[in-house]
A and B are shown apart, each in its own frame.
Chain A
Amino acid sequence: MAAQVSVELFGSLTQFTGGARTVTVEAATIRDLLARLAEAHPGLAPQLDRGVSVSIDGKIYTEALFQPISPDSEVVLLPRIAGG
């Protein structure tokens, strides 16, 4: 049973959430989170398709769709992190 998770978005995404900086969706994993976000806020879909990283309690995940998220976790959406 998935719980409600609060996700902090980065500033430029707030134009697609009616200005909300933090949105709440029902999610148990990163996969759920991304799917629910796209459903609830279709304007986010292009950015989600281009790729994002998700920070859960300060640890940044770039690929791990099945990473569990607990309801009290601090969750932050980030652009996809890469490197040189």
Chain B
Amino acid sequence: MAFDEYDSETRIFSAVGTRPVRPDGVDKVTGRALFGADMSAPGMLTGAILRSPHAHARIKSIDTSKAEALPGVKAVVTRADFNAEADNADVLDNCMAGEKVLYDGHALAALAAINPRVAQKALRLIEVDYEVLPHVTDVDAAMAPDAPVLRAEGGNESVPEGLSKNVMSMCEFGHGDLDKGFAEADLVIEKSFKTAAAHQGYIEPHACLASLGADGRGELWVCTQGHFVVRNICADLLGMDSTQLRVVASEIGGGFGGKTTVFLEPVALALSRKASRPVKMVMSRSEVFRATGPTSSTSMDIKIGMTKDGRMTAGLAVNRFQGGAYPGAPVDMGAMCSFACYNLENVKSVGYDVICNRPKQAAYRAPGSPMAAFAVESVVDMLCQELGLDPVEVRIKNASREGTKASYGPRWPRIGLEETLEAAKAHAHYKAPLGPNQGRGVSCGFWFNHGGETSVSLALSQDGTVALSVGTPDIGGSRASMCLMAAEELGIPYDKVRTTVVDTASLGYNDVSHGSRVTYASGLATIKAARDAKQKLCARAAKIWGIDPDAVTWEDGMAKPSGHNAGDHDPLPFSKLCATMGRTGGPISGHFEATPEGAGVSFATHLVDAEVDPETGATKVVRYTVIQDAGKAIHPAYVEGQFQGGAVQGIGWALNEEYIYGEDGRLQNAGFLDYRIPVASDLPMIDTEIVEVPNPGHPYGVRGVGETSIVPPLAAIANAVSRAAGVRMTELPMSPPRILAALDAQDG
């Protein structure tokens, strides 16, 4: 049997499924937990970055002499201080501009000084001569034939002839015959949609503390979703050996995909190398907004056909995503997700990756899927409205299920979409009456989830406790889940396991904490490492008893003879075997190093009631219910937390969050005042229902849950608002001015 297969069909769990206090909890409620900006070092300098005020300009010259001459300034770096041969050329260019600055906020020089005041003063002494170039920030405008071009070389081989050079790639998925499908429909609706760029909005700005000596050995403390990746990229950008750099992941104050790459880290290392002193860098909130990854803004055209009885006959989606100034918008993912929820005979989804003068997009929770779902699920809702059909029934009728062909190619394994829809249909929320000016929205959502390279080490201690080392930063309580899974396997109490996110020198490579992979992949690794340790423990018991290792089994936290033939021996508990391990053969650790490939997809159905004030266009979310397939909930409270958090991020994206650029190409709302993430008083309680359809690719059936929860809200809210207001909203955010304008246009 493969290592990543579900083997718990009849298992009765003892630890898994309970809700213990998280191991890092006390540190986090007392202020002791150390995040990115909380570390300091003797002799530490403060680093600061000079950023472009222009959306697009050629750098004719940079004169840093006055800044260098300012007392207290210890080092200044520009692009010349980095590896000209770096493999990660776009990442380098984004961290430190070369010939051109490509967006408002693009870094082009940096310095280290004795304190932040001196550093800020010195930044103002750097003189830059720019040749300002025409810019473009809108995705549709960037695709126009006469748009300002960011990269003369244009896109890759997939881009058809005749498109703007700003189109970096094109992708297409689907099967069947669209014309035939649309001909079978009783109603075909075609509609265009736009979504604004939304920022991940983690409350902790990017921060790091770097120390790189003349001997080429370095240390880096950083808030990141993946310190191994930070290590490898920084080593590349600085031209050093990766293992000479030891990276420690601090506690991380939110990431949501936005902390899966580097921004400050290589710069801090370069400054430290030049100054021969530790350098700390912390972004301001405005820097976070201007220069780190929001997600793509998008423009999409959707066409869907349906019969009178609610069968979807064909679907077409054309997705245009801008990903900032570099290729890599998640439009391929988006295009694959467009129709993932539906079993369509005739389907096509196309994607264009477009660059423009904005910060390089970074992954944001199910990258690409929320926008795609917004457009498709809105049209599904319109069809239901026009045909007088129940939106949940229609979705059940057309739902993807085991064995049907996904719109992006493969046949589905065991999945839980239908279960979430049935749960929605049965939910009290779906039957509750609506008040005046209220509407109810329904939407489904899908995300792939990911496995990724994973190493863990599970070391037993003489006192019968366990030190579990993982390499995936804990972004939402995963240490608690790891402790639960280790405790479950070993049959010991939860609090006898301590899980630590260890540094890059202490463990083999681990992929980033992304793709909803941690509880899946590090969890699988933990289970397998515990099983490895149990096997070793059984071998020790066998030695002690003088019997064959195969004649020993592990049950209830004890080694036991496997049957009468194995002899009559008192069971050896975990603690006793640990206490004697030094003399029975030496220390025992369990290991796992592999790339689990059995990540299970996760589907969700969301229900929302929204109320629209017809005089002001203000929307109030009155009731919200998240129903999602978790496969198996290890720590249900944190599963619910993922559901609730994703839903609320989606609510913000739907209603108020957006990057607003002026005619000058500058970001106008680079702060939490005008980039409006939801506040406590905006929201109702977020009800949750965990559906458990086991993932065939995980021993306990775990599916990642972190990302899918942000997929349905955009459409669910849009459907609720459109029904409440009586006018279809096709552009996000559905801000009050936009809703009021739509209402007025309808009245007019």
Q: Do A and B touch directly, given a CB cutoff of 8 Å in the complex? A: yes
Q: Which residue numbers of A lie inside 8 Å of B, CB to CB?
A: 8, 10-13, 15-16, 43, 46-47, 55, 57-64, 67, 74, 76-79, 81-84
For window 439-460 of B, CB contacts with A under 8 Å fall at 447-453
User: B31 contacts the other chain (Cβ, under 8 Å)?
Assistant: no
Q: A55-B409, A84-B366 are in contact. Are A79 and B332 (CB under 8 A)?
A: yes
Which residue of A12, A63, A84 is within 8 Å of B595 (Cβ)? A63
Residue of A61, A77, A78, A82 with highest tally of chain B CB at under 10 A = A82
Q: Which residue numbers of B lie inside 8 Å of A, CB to CB?
A: 156-158, 170-174, 256-258, 260, 332-333, 336, 348, 350, 363-367, 408-413, 447-453, 514-517, 595, 597-599, 697, 704, 707
Cα separation A63 to B514 with both chains bound (whole Å): 16
Q: How far is the CB of B5 from chain A (nearest CB, A)?
A: 10
Which residue of B257, B409, B598 is within 8 Å of A83 (Cβ)? B257
Residue of A13, A15, A62, A84 with highest tally of chain B CB at under 10 A = A84
Our count of residue pairs bridging A and B at CB distance below 8 angstroms stands at 106
Q: How far is the CB of A12 from chain B (nearest CB, A)?
A: 4
Cα separation A67 to B598 with both chains bound (whole Å): 12
Q: How far is the CB of B162 from chain A (nearest CB, A)?
A: 14
Cα separation A12 to B704 with both chains bound (whole Å): 29
Residue pair A58, B597 in contact (C-beta under 8 Å): no
Residue pair A58, B410 in contact (C-beta under 8 Å): yes
13 A-B residue pairs with CB within 8 Å? A11-B350, A12-B170, A12-B171, A12-B172, A12-B350, A13-B158, A47-B158, A58-B413, A67-B597, A79-B171, A81-B333, A83-B450, A84-B707
Q: How far is the CB of B697 from chain A (nearest CB, A)?
A: 7
Q: Which residue on A lies nearest to B365, using beta carbons?
A: A84
Q: How far is the CB of A49 from chain B (nearest CB, A)?
A: 10
Beyond A10-B171, A62-B595, A81-B448, 12 extra complex contacts between A and B, CB < 8 Å:
A8-B409, A10-B173, A55-B409, A62-B450, A62-B451, A64-B597, A77-B409, A81-B450, A81-B515, A84-B256, A84-B367, A84-B514
Cα separation A80 to B670 with both chains bound (whole Å): 32
Which residue of A16, A57, A59 is within 8 Å of B597 (Cβ)? A59
Cα separation A40 to B314 with both chains bound (whole Å): 33
Q: How far is the CB of A10 from chain B (nearest CB, A)?
A: 5
Cα separation A27 to B707 with both chains bound (whole Å): 34
Cα separation A77 to B450 with both chains bound (whole Å): 16
The list of the 3 closest CB pairs from A to B, nearest first, reads A83-B515, A84-B257, A11-B172
Residue pair A10, B408 in contact (C-beta under 8 Å): yes
Which residues from chain A contact B707 at a C-beta distance below 8 Å?
83-84
Residue pair A57, B411 in contact (C-beta under 8 Å): yes
Cα separation A3 to B557 with both chains bound (whole Å): 47
Q: How far is the CB of A25 from chain B (nearest CB, A)?
A: 17
Residue of B170, B367, B409, B704 with highest tally of chain A CB at under 10 A = B409
Q: How far is the CB of B202 from chain A (nearest CB, A)?
A: 12
Residue pair A58, B171 in contact (C-beta under 8 Å): no
Q: Which residue on B lies nearest to A43, using beta carbons?
A: B157
Q: A60-B448, A83-B447 are in contact. Are A11 and B348 (CB under 8 A)?
A: yes
Which residues from chain A contact B447 at a C-beta distance below 8 Å?
83
Residue pair B348, A83 in contact (C-beta under 8 Å): no
Residue pair A60, B260 in contact (C-beta under 8 Å): no
Cα separation A12 to B332 with both chains bound (whole Å): 11
Residue pair A83, B173 in contact (C-beta under 8 Å): no
Residue pair A83, B366 in contact (C-beta under 8 Å): yes
Which residues from chain A contact B363 at a C-beta distance below 8 Å?
82-84
Q: How far is the CB of B617 from chain A (nearest CB, A)?
A: 31
Which residue of B172, B516, B517 is within 8 Å of A10 (Cβ)? B172
Q: A61-B597, A63-B453, A64-B595 are in contact. Are A83 and B410 (CB under 8 A)?
A: no
Cα separation A84 to B449 with both chains bound (whole Å): 9
Q: How far is the CB of A45 from chain B (nearest CB, A)?
A: 9
Residue pair B174, A83 in contact (C-beta under 8 Å): no
Which residues from chain A contact B333 at a C-beta distance below 8 Å?
79, 81-82
Residue pair B411, A74 in contact (C-beta under 8 Å): yes
Residue pair B173, A11 in contact (C-beta under 8 Å): yes
Q: A83-B447, A83-B448, A84-B707 are in contact. Are A74 and B364 (CB under 8 A)?
A: no
Cα separation A58 to B414 with both chains bound (whole Å): 9
Cα separation A11 to B363 with both chains bound (whole Å): 24
Which residues from chain A contact B514 at a C-beta distance below 8 Å?
82-84
Residue of B332, B365, B597 with highest tally of chain A CB at under 10 A = B597
Q: How far is the CB of B711 from chain A (nearest CB, A)?
A: 11
Cα separation A63 to B451 with both chains bound (whole Å): 9
Cα separation A79 to B157 with both chains bound (whole Å): 15
Residue pair A83, B157 in contact (C-beta under 8 Å): no
Cα separation A58 to B402 with both chains bound (whole Å): 10
Residue pair B408, A78 in contact (C-beta under 8 Å): yes
Which residue of B260, B409, B413 is within 8 Å of A84 (Cβ)? B260
Which residues from chain A contact B410 at a C-beta distance below 8 Å?
55, 57-58, 60, 74, 76, 78
Cα separation A51 to B200 with both chains bound (whole Å): 26
Q: Which residue on A lies nearest to B451, using beta carbons?
A: A62
Q: Which residue on B lies nearest to A76, using beta carbons?
A: B409
Cα separation A74 to B406 with both chains bound (whole Å): 12
Q: How far is the CB of B28 from chain A (nearest CB, A)?
A: 23
Cα separation A79 to B336 with both chains bound (whole Å): 9
Cα separation A13 to B172 with both chains bound (whole Å): 8
Which residues from chain B contact A12 at a C-beta distance below 8 Å?
158, 170-172, 350
Which residues from chain B contact A8 at a C-beta distance below 8 Å?
409
Q: A78-B408, A83-B516 are in contact. Are A62 and B597 (CB under 8 A)?
A: yes
Which residue of B336, B364, B515, B597 is within 8 Å of A63 (Cβ)? B597
Residue of A15, A57, A58 with highest tally of chain B CB at under 10 A = A58
Residue pair A46, B172 in contact (C-beta under 8 Å): no
Residue of B158, B514, B517 with highest tally of chain A CB at under 10 A = B158
Cα separation A48 to B517 with both chains bound (whole Å): 24
Which residues from chain B contact A43 at a C-beta distance below 8 Å?
157
Which residue of A16, A59, A64, A78 is within 8 Å of B413 (Cβ)? A59
Which residue of A11, A58, A84 is within 8 Å of B412 (Cβ)? A58
Cα separation A84 to B260 with both chains bound (whole Å): 8
Which residue of B173, B413, B450 is within 8 Å of A82 (Cβ)? B450
Q: A46-B156, A76-B410, A78-B408 are in contact. Are A59 and B595 (CB under 8 A)?
A: no
Q: How far is the CB of A31 from chain B (nearest CB, A)?
A: 14
Cα separation A80 to B339 with both chains bound (whole Å): 18
Q: Which residue on B lies nearest to A45, using beta carbons?
A: B157
Q: Which residue on A lies nearest to B348, using beta carbons?
A: A11
Which residues from chain B contact A78 at a C-beta distance below 8 Å?
336, 408-410
Cα separation A67 to B597 with both chains bound (whole Å): 10
Cα separation A14 to B311 with both chains bound (whole Å): 29
Cα separation A12 to B158 with both chains bound (whole Å): 7
Q: How far is the CB of A27 from chain B (nearest CB, A)?
A: 17
Q: How far is the CB of A56 from chain B (nearest CB, A)?
A: 8
Which residues from chain B contact A79 at a C-beta distance below 8 Å?
171, 332-333, 336
